[in-house]
Amino acid sequence: MASVASKLYADDVSLVMVLLDTNPLFWSSSSLPFSNFLSHVLSFLNSILLLNQFNQVVVIASGYNSCDYIYDSSLATNQGSDSGKMPALCSNLLQKLEEFVIRDEQLRKEVSGDGLPSSMLSGSLSMALCYIQKVFRSGPLHPQPRILCLQGSPDGPEQYVAIMNAIFSAQRSMVPIDSCYIGSNNSAFLQQASYITGGVYLKPQQLEGLFQYLSTVFATDLQSRSFLQLPKSVGVDFRASCFCHKKTIDMGYVCSVCLSIFCKHHKKCSTCGSVFGQAQSDASTASNRKRKTSET
């Protein structure tokens, strides 16, 4: 029995948690149609399952208002709902996805401000980590888990704390977070996530070749990855969001007790309640301001 299990879970068996960005507002503005994106991703998932018969894929949709598991290859039955048109995986996944989108729409919330809203990346990251913890606790032998974020929506600074916590817990449990960012600009969250956990951050230049990127960079298991030279990001945007207004800031105040970050000086830390000294900070801000004006 033990030998079967060890054969089952050799070091090249992977558990891939795929976080799918289903933010409708992003997809309606994206240059890559969602249908094309899905067909790339579905083919990619299929190829992962084909790489090793013990490979496992779990897909989590991170929507606009909520997130949910939409596919788990270990639970999948082989009968598809449609006959022969596409693999059972796809039809099951698409079915669940459609249901998820309808549910997501019902949990309506106000569209805030201008620019693209973000998707629930923090929630789906937490769900992925929970699933991985469950797998870890199932026994000493389990597939090698990793998380792949397929993200297009811009970062939501309000999720900063939750995402950073998720990143650190992933780092603690040695789960790499790979990220493939298909939106414009770069995602600082995902850059940091991949940097901290030792994953790969990729921003494809040719979106119509997405499948090629995915299969080249993200398909290999963790064991083989050590032999490959995967793209490295040149720089990482390490900017943080302040805890008070959830803005991304270059410079700010840090609580000396709990390391919370604020964009303005506060009398009291909102996280841990430490009371900050007053006089000194006033003087320093005054001098800072003075210096800035003199420089211009």
Interface contacts to other proteins, rule CB under 8 A = 22, 24-31, 33-36, 38-40, 42-43, 64, 82, 85-86, 90-91, 94-95, 97-98, 101-102, 104-105, 108, 111, 114-117, 184-186, 203-206, 208-213, 216-217, 229-232, 234-235
User: Least separation, in Å, of the C-beta of 271 and other proteins?
Assistant: 32
Residue 173 or 184: which CB sits closer to other proteins? 184
Q: Are 95 and 76 in contact (CB under 8 A)?
A: no
Q: Are 66 and 107 in contact (CB under 8 A)?
A: yes
Task: Strands of 38-92 (E only): list them.
Answer: 56-62, 67-72
**Would you give the distance in Å from CA 74 to the centre of its chain?**
22
Helix (H, G, I), strand (E, B) or coil at 69: strand
User: Least separation, in Å, of the C-beta of 41 and other proteins?
Assistant: 10
Q: Are 153 and 118 in contact (CB under 8 A)?
A: yes
User: Least separation, in Å, of the C-beta of 213 and other proteins?
Assistant: 6
Residue 78 or 206: which CB sits closer to other proteins? 206
User: Least separation, in Å, of the C-beta of 98 and other proteins?
Assistant: 5
Residue 35 or 138: which CB sits closer to other proteins? 35
Tokens read off for 234: 């040149």
DSSP 137: T
User: Least separation, in Å, of the C-beta of 231 and other proteins?
Assistant: 5
Residue 120 or 175: which CB sits closer to other proteins? 120
Helix (H, G, I), strand (E, B) or coil at 56: strand
